[in-house]
């Protein structure tokens, strides 16, 4: 009798599905771990979908990409992974196309710049999950003491930095070109100089005339004049620069939304303006997105799609964005946030999103190119550095990696 009952039980459960999701942790403590966000979302979803179980594992950003790679390499891919890069998996035909899983209204709701950044050779595989942009943060107290107004051009930024240095400010402009996140600071400056990593769709343009001129200016007019503080830019990491700003030791730096909370918690009064450019405020800001992916291995396209439609509902996108001071990746949630008083502090970043440019994440070579930029770009602004030579070497490396990986 027991065997018969067990057999019935198995038969009755034949349509039940367990979806496995690996996600990154955006929290900075156990109190606001992303696990809490996912637990709440999954509980609500499973309540209305009794045949579906969603098993979520959350890892820190330091290990989540490696954990997913190990799973895929072992032939045990999760159904979904929320990670930093997707192009390698797409190139290996391991991911569902976005159009294979999401409903048409949800797919169409993504902010267009982010949806486009999720494409490999014109087909979208990466679903943007969270995004942010950069603004120039400045310390209002230090600026008032020096009688300054926020800069709108490079020349004004250098003048302000000189005045701050004369007032004894430790880091007039903090320039983090250390190995932690040099690719971000670099791209913001390249864009402000009218360049970028890929000025054409088909190839890298790291050593373009505009990019060389940008790093020549940084080396000669900012770093060379002692305006970037006591830690050499090639040794200064982003986390240390943010901590110094929150401690009141930085006059200006590029920052993303999370810096607001850190600075406010230490009582630092700050303002935010678009990044200065050669002749005026930069028209293109740097945007960053993290990616949701759907792996084909387990064949749960329909169930994955239904769950992700729920994940990308207006309410859930807003809840996540507000919890972690990030920007919504959908138009519907962006419109709500843009009009809501409670989100007024994020509006300046939100305004930059339609004008933003992301890393070339659709290129399968980008992860390795980014790693090389992190290691080497800081050398361009050292006393003995040669921006044209460093950028030229990076261009050669990028081209070689691009050809080797098939783009």
Average pLDDT over residues 259-272: 95
Q: How confident is the model at residue 2 (pLDDT cuts 50, 70, 90)?
A: very low
Q: What is the mean pLDDT of residues 51-78?
A: 94
What domains does the chain contain, in order, with CATH numbers? 17-132+288-357 (3.40.190.10), 135-274+363-405 (3.40.190.10)
Q: Stretch 381-391: mean pLDDT, rounded?
A: 97
Compare 85 and 277 and report the one with higher pLDDT.
277
The tens digit of pLDDT for each residue in 281-314 reads: 998 889 999 999 999 999 999 999 999 999 999 9
- What DSSP character marks residue 365? T
Predicted confidence (pLDDT) at residue 356 exceeds the cutoff of 50: yes
101-105-108-110 Cα dihedral, nearest 10 degrees: -80
Question: Which whole-number Å values give the CA distances from 192 to 71, 134, 349, in the listed order?
Answer: 40, 12, 16
pLDDT digits (tens, 9 = 90+) for 209-245: 999 999 999 999 999 999 999 999 999 999 999 999 9
CA 109 from chain centre, in angstroms, equals 19
- The per-residue pLDDT for 93 is 96
* CA gap 22, 314 in Å, rounded: 22
**pLDDT (tens digit, 9 = 90+) per residue, 82-111?**
998 899 999 999 999 999 999 999 999 999
Question: What confidence category does residue 79 fall into, taking pLDDT thresholds of 50, 70 and 90?
Answer: very high
Label residues 332-360 b or e (16+ Cβ within 10 Å = b). Answer: bbbebbeeeeebeebebbbebbeebbbbb
Cα separation, 274 vs 252, whole angstroms: 12
How many residues are recorded in the chain? Answer: 407
Other Cβ atoms less than 10 A from the Cβ of 139: the count is: 24
Of 12-16, 268-272, 333-337, give the lowest mean pLDDT range: 12-16
**Mean per-residue pLDDT, 174-192:** 95
Average pLDDT over residues 395-399: 96
Q: How confident is the model at residue 355 (pLDDT cuts 50, 70, 90)?
A: confident
Give the phi and the psi of residue 63 in degrees, each rounded to 5. Answer: -130, -10
pLDDT band, very low/low/confident/very high, at 5 (cuts 50, 70, 90): very low
State the chain's mean pLDDT as an integer: 92
**Confidence bin at 1 (pLDDT 50/70/90):** very low
Whether 10 has a pLDDT exceeding 70, the answer reads no
* Predicted local distance difference test score (pLDDT) of residue 406: 61
């Amino acid at each position: 009798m027991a065997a018969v009952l067990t057999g019935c039980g198995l038969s009755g459960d034949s349509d039940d599905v367990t979806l496995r999701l690996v996600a990154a942790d955006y929290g900075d403590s156990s109190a606001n771990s992303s696990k809490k966000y996912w637990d709440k979302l999954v509980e609500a979803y499973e309540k209305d979908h009794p045949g579906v179980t969603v098993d979520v594992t959350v890892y820190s950003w330091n290990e989540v990409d490696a954990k997913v790679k190990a799973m895929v390499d072992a032939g045990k891919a999760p159904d979904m992974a929320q990670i930093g890069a997707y192009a390698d998996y797409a190139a290996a035909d391991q991911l569902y196309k976005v159009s294979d899983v999401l409903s048409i209204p949800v797919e169409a709701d993504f902010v267009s710049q982010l949806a486009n950044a999720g494409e490999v050779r014109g087909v979208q595989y990466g679903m943007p999950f969270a995004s942010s942009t950069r603004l120039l943060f400045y310390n209002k107290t230090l600026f008032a003491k020096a009688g300054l107004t926020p800069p709108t051009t490079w020349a004004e930024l250098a003048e302000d930095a000189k005045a701050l240095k004369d007032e004894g400010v430790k880091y007039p402009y903090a320039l983090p070109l250390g190995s932690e996140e040099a690719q971000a600071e670099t791209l913001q400056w390249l864009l402000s100089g009218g360049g970028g990593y890929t000025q054409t769709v088909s190839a890298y343009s790291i050593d373009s005339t505009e990019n060389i001129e940008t790093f020549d200016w940084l080396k000669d007019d900012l770093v060379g004049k002692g305006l970037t503080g006591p830690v050499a830019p090639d040794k200064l990491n982003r986390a240390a620069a943010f901590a110094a700003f929150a401690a009141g030791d930085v006059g200006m730096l590029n920052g993303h939304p999370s810096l607001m909370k850190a600075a406010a918690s230490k009582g630092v009064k700050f303002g935010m303006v678009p990044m200065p450019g050669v002749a005026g405020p930069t028209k293109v800001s740097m945007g960053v997105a993290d990616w949701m992916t759907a792996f084909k291995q387990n064949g749960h396209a329909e169930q994955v799609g239904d769950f992700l439609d729920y994940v990308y509902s207006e309410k859930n996108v807003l809840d996540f964005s507000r919890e972690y001071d990030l920007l919504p990746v959908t138009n519907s949630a962006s419109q709500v946030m843009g009009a809501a008083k409670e989100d007024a502090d994020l509006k300046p970043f939100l305004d930059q999103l339609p004008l933003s440019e992301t890393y070339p994440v659709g290129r399968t070579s980008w992860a390795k190119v980014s790693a090389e930029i992190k290691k080497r770009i800081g050398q361009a602004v050292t006393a003995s550095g040669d921006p044209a030579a460093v950028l030229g070497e990076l261009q050669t490396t990028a081209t070689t990696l691009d050809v080797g990986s098939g783009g």
